[in-house]
Amino acid sequence: MTEILIAPSILSADFAAMGEAVRNLEKWKADWVHCDVMDGEFVPNITFGMPMVEALRRNTKMFLDVHLMIVKPERYVERFVKAGADLVTFHPEASEDPHGTIAKIKAAGAKAGIVLNPDIPCEVAKEFIGEVDLIMLMGVFPGFGGQKFITEVMEKISELKEMTKGTSVLVELDGGVTLDNAPEMKRRGLDVMVAGNAVFKAEDPALAIAGLKA
Ligand code: DX5
Ligand code: ZN
C-alpha cells in the first residue's frame, strides 16, 4: 500500500505570512498544499483567488491542490491552472457543465477532481470516474476550517474506494480530520487527507503531520 498523502489547508495558516507557511510545510514534510477558494456565494465565506495561488507558486515547488468552492467554476479554472494549480477540484452542482469543466482543467494542463458535500451520495461520482484524477469527500459542510467531522462520511470512503477500484482515481477527504479519526480513514484506504487545524493549530505541526501519516 502506498503512503497516504497529507495536504494541509492554508486556510488555517496566518494569511499575513503565507510564504512562510508554505516553506514551513516543506520543512514539516507535508505532501501537498491545499488551497481553499471561497466566493461568498457557493459558501458563506470569502477567502482568496488566483493571485494567492500565483504568490504561493512563486514561493514553493510543492503540489498545489486548489479546492474551488465557487459558483460556475468553469469561468475561472484556466486562470487557476495558469496561476500554478497542479490539481483543481470543484463541486459539480456549482457548475453548469461539470464534464466540460473537467475537460477545461485537463486541457489547461492540471489534474482535475470533483468534490462531494457530506449530503451528496457517492453515486453522483459514478459518471465522472472515467474523466477525473481524484474525487474528494467533504467531512464537513464547506465554508470554515476547524469544524467537527461528520462521522457518517467515514463509510463513504469505503464506498468510493470500492467504486474506483482498478482505476487510478485517488480519493481525498477534506474537513474535520484529527489525529483520532485519521487511522480509520487510512484503514479504509484513503489516498489523500486534508488537514487544516490539525496541522496549523498543533503545538508541533511536524509531529502532527507525522502522526496523521503513521
Ligand atoms: C472547509 C475547507 C477545508 C477546511 C479544512 O470549508 O474546504 O479545507 O479548511 O480544515 P479542518 O481540517 O480544520 O477542518
Ligand atoms: Zn478544502
Q: Which active-site residues does the annotation give? A: 36, 174
Cα 59 from Cα 144, distance rounded (Å)? 25
Q: How would residue 1 be classed by pLDDT, with cut points 50, 70 and 90?
A: low
pLDDT, tens only, 53-108: 999 999 999 999 999 999 999 999 999 999 999 999 999 999 999 999 999 999 99
CB 140 within 8 A of CB 150: yes
| Three-state secondary-structure class, residue 185 | helix
Distance 179 CA to ligand 1 centre (A): 15
Residue nearest to atom 1 of ligand 1 (CA): 142
CB 54 within 8 A of CB 86: no
pLDDT, tens only, 132-169: 999 999 999 999 999 999 999 999 999 999 999 999 99
Distance 36 CA to ligand 1 centre (A): 8
From the CA of 47, the nearest ligand is 1
Which among 36, 37, 199 is the best mutation to test ligand 1's pocket, defined by most ligand atoms within 8 Å of the CB?
36
Distance 47 CA to ligand 2 centre (A): 11
Grid cell listed for 118: 457530506
Cα 196 from Cα 177, distance rounded (Å)? 8
Distance 182 CA to ligand 1 centre (A): 14
CB atoms within 10 A of CB 214: 11
The whole-number pLDDT of residue 2 equals 75
Report the amino acid identity of residue 79: R
Q: Is the pTM of this model over 0.85?
A: yes
Q: Strands 32-38, 192-195: parallel, antiparallel or unpaired by DSSP?
A: unpaired
Q: Is the CB of 34 under 6 A from ligand 1?
A: yes
Q: Is the CB of 177 under 6 A from ligand 1?
A: yes
Contacting residues for 108 by C-beta, under 8 A, at least 6 apart: 77, 78, 81, 82
Q: How far is CA 45 from the centre of its chain?
A: 17
